[in-house]
Structure 1
Amino acid sequence: MRAVIFAEYGAPSVLEVVETERPEPGPGQVRVAVRAAGVNPIDVKLRSGIMSGGESLAAPRALGFEVSGVVDAVGDGVADAAVGDAVAGWPVGGGYAEYALMSVYAAKPDALTWEQAAVLPVAGEAAVRSLRALKIDRGETLLINGASGAVGALATQIAVADGLTVIGTAGAANLDRVRALGATATTYGPGLADRVRELAPQGVDAVLDAAGHGALPDAIALRGGVDRVVTIADPAAFDLGVPFLSGGPEDQTAEVLRTLLEAAVQGRITPPAPHGMALDQAAQAHERVEKGGAGKIVLIP
């Protein structure tokens, strides 16, 4: 099968398509013929070496943390999927490939395209995790910094559907998009705290920073401290005492997947609009993500 790997850290050009053996599913795993694989900022960070701690790669590495596809083999103990089933989830060992293994997956609804299903696991899980961490209730006011991005947009839609008042920040060009999601929109950047106070004179009950851009000091000022302020994007959190929610395997559950997929079918959320690129265009896909404003990209084997 064809798969994308990189043998050294560096620019997008280190990504290469190679021929390799199809992986065999272990106990509790399924193998899928990949129909779409999401490209995320974490992929770019891993490939660039920014998270390597200065160490070189010990062996070639694969990328890709969300896929949709058709089950073509099952491992021992699998009772909730069969060959021919359409599923989406988090791959084990990389998803930029013609075939991938999955331990955590959910059935792909017929109403969703392969691309739509493939872009929900990573951003959707991050949105759900962040909202749960804030313990927000119906009727409260939530500030989401970066409400037009993949995670921020899904968090905004979920929060609005759950009865929250959402103030969402974005660049000037994306304010109408944020309003269309059901939020009150404002720009991020200098003066954010004052703008939010004008929009919510009663104050905000929680803040989710999904974009960075140095918004944490304003978030802390609005909350009068770090209580109910979280970020998934700004490493300044470690110096400011704000929780940085990086997530882990324990957060990636079939229940979360089913909730996201069902919400998309019901129209409670709209998956990020995906732009498809060929598997051998992985380097170009990373270039677009690095430049920003590329939207959600999926690789099509």
Structure 2
Amino acid sequence: MGTYDALLVLSFGGPEGPDDVLPFLENVVRGRGVPRERLLQVAEHYQGFGGVSPINGQNRELIEALRPVVGVPVYWGNRNWHPFGEETVLRMKDDGVRKAAVFATSAFAGYSSCRQYYEDIARISVKGGPELVKMRHFGEHPGFVAAMADHVRQALDRLGRDDARLVFTAHSVPVSMARTAGPYGGLYEAQLRRSAELVNAALGRTQPWDLVWQSRSGPPEVPWLEPDVCDHLRKTDARSVVLVPIGFVSDHMEVVYDLDTEARQVATELGLPMERAATAGVHPAFVRMVRELMDEPEPQPCALTCCPPPRRRQV
């Protein structure tokens, strides 16, 4: 297997108790001028789940599933909460790791979903520490597609309606950010549509499907990708739906709140039968995919002009 002597799972992070919630959110929005009132509003979402984000538990499960498959030590670091990436890399240095593959828990192009992980790698790298090599986008990888198709199939079985409309969801981003994703722009949305097409095809379905957006967090005057998933459900003519969080590889608060709570409430009010497919999580095909990415030729990093950071509001 290549030249890697370790694997670093690099993720977003999340709080693990009520006292963690606000400090975590302050880390997420640092430098963005987000009003404290907005942070308190989002904090209520977390507190409704005991202040615990499901992403941490799912990352631990993924790491345990990866250990016997990748054949090298597996480390875990986060951008916004413990274990922070910089702390993990120092431990890797002490352990004598020379070169590590970096698996970012985000499948697609874009500033937040890709470029920011390159920035993280540059920030947490230390002199004398391991060389960190980020793995490529994987939304079209057969392992990811197979995992999502299997989870959609299970959701259809729970719903008991093979003809349910598939509604793929992903995190909305500002339109300006979507337009500059990738070397020629528009790659975030294009990759998501391609991934949805592949999942639909893997299921042998020919019915139409939808791609919608969720978890908008910006000021109202800034255009973001639409339609929002709840708005879409209110307008759909489908008789039943399966929500497919194609833009997420594990459950985030955005999944369990925006889909399992808000979207389900809308569907219930409408009398619309709805199920939510699981994220890729620790599906065996997804776990094998990580090993296969490590076995590929070392990917070349994107140009610095690719997926530029958004302009921050002046406060």
Q: Would you call these one fold, judging by a TM-score over 0.5? A: no
Structure 2-normalised TM-score?
Answer: 0.36
Structure with higher helix content: 2
Structure with higher strand content: 1
Which has the higher relative contact order, 1 or 2, with Cα contacts under 8 A spaced 6 or more apart?
2
Structure 1-normalised TM-score?
Answer: 0.37
